[in-house]
Amino acid sequence: MGPILHNITLFAEPIGTFHGLTITNSLLTSWAAVIIIIIISLVLRFKLNVIPNKLQNLFEIVIEGALELCDQVTNSRVLSLQIFPIAISVFFFILLNNWLGLLPIGGLGILEKSSEGLSFVPFLRGGTADVNTTIALAIMAVLGANLFGIFSIGIWKTFNKYVNLEALGEIFTKIRKEPTVIIVAPITFFVGIIEIIGEFAKVASLSFRLFGNVFAGEVLLASMAALVAYIIPIPFLFLEILVGVIQALIFSMLLVVYFTISATDHEEKEHEYEDVLEEELHKNKESIIINNNITA
């Protein structure tokens, strides 16, 4: 028997098939993460008590802290309660995928023949270390945010954010009073087109940030284990545990930000700002008149 190689690849490695479906080690890890989340949810659901036990108390602290963090982004508890379920679900899914890839059971896997000899393929690889998973999560976040915007402010306002037909229409309605609209309106329209490009940029940013950090952690741990098999890799393992939490938190918070922006009616905000500005100008005029009368 020749040497057994363990090569780290950018792509997930197949470990079997099921009715024509190729099962990769990252897909198996993602299934395991979903199963763990379902089991924990059922246990918490059927063991809810007025006086919480230790597990319930732990999750109540986590959920309450996460909800308050969500409030800091949305500035509205009502909006937070609408976004929070999907945000916390994504957080736990990413967190478990990050951590399952670090479990010290790397000896479990299969051996495959290759041109270089026998290659070892582990059963578990973090789902977030597979770019297919992170791209799917990113697309879900961006599409979900736009659908949430449609349900929150309406399909016309959401569509108009990207294809600003109202801005072009203002050229015909405001050109007499505001001639500058003939320059401003086309710029506003093309800003909406740039927003469409920005949505694709969000997908790339979310997916490759998560994938890059998790995959780099796997490469780091594998390199350290190859150089020094004992003790030295342990600090790096704890570092990757922390990185797993941070990356899950970053992705979830960005999801909350995108959902909040999509649910915000920017035109209404602009009108509110204009009303406040007019009110302040009116108050200043009144104070000037009063001061002039006093001086006179």
Find the mean pLDDT for residues 69-93: 91
191-245 per-position pLDDT tens digit: 778 888 888 999 999 999 999 888 887 777 767 766 776 677 777 778 888 888 9
Distance (Å, whole) CA 13 – CA 9: 8
* Residue 97 covered by a domain: yes
Q: In terms of DSSP bridges, do strands 4-5 and 117-122 run parallel, antiparallel, or are they unpaired? A: parallel
26, 131 in Cβ contact below 8 A?
A: no
Domain assignment present for residue 286? The answer is no
- High-pLDDT (> 90) share of the chain, %: 22
> Are the C-beta atoms of 74 and 84 separated by less than 8 Å?
no
Q: Say whether 17 sits in a helix, a strand or coil.
A: strand
Find out whether 55 and 43 touch, Cβ atoms under 8 Å. Answer: yes
pLDDT of residue 289: 56
Domain enclosing residue 234, as ranges: 4-265
Say what the pTM is.
0.78
pLDDT of residue 180: 72
Q: Examine residue 293 and state whether it is found in any structural domain, yes or no.
A: no
Strand 14-18 versus strand 117-122 pairing type: unpaired
Average pLDDT for 142-146: 92
* Rounded Cα gap, residues 232 and 228, in angstroms: 6
Total domains, the chain: 1
Is 65 inside any structural domain?
Answer: yes
What lies within 8 Å, CB to CB, of 103 at 6+ separation is: 124
5 - beta bridge partners?
119
| Residue 271 confidence (pLDDT) | 46
Q: Is 285 a member of any domain?
A: no
Residue 270 domain-assigned (yes or no): no
Query: Counting every residue, how long is the chain?
Result: 296
Label the pairing between strands 109-114 and 117-122.
antiparallel
- Would 90 be classed as within a structural domain? yes
Q: Has residue 284 been placed in a domain?
A: no
Query: What per-residue confidence (pLDDT) applies to 118?
Result: 52
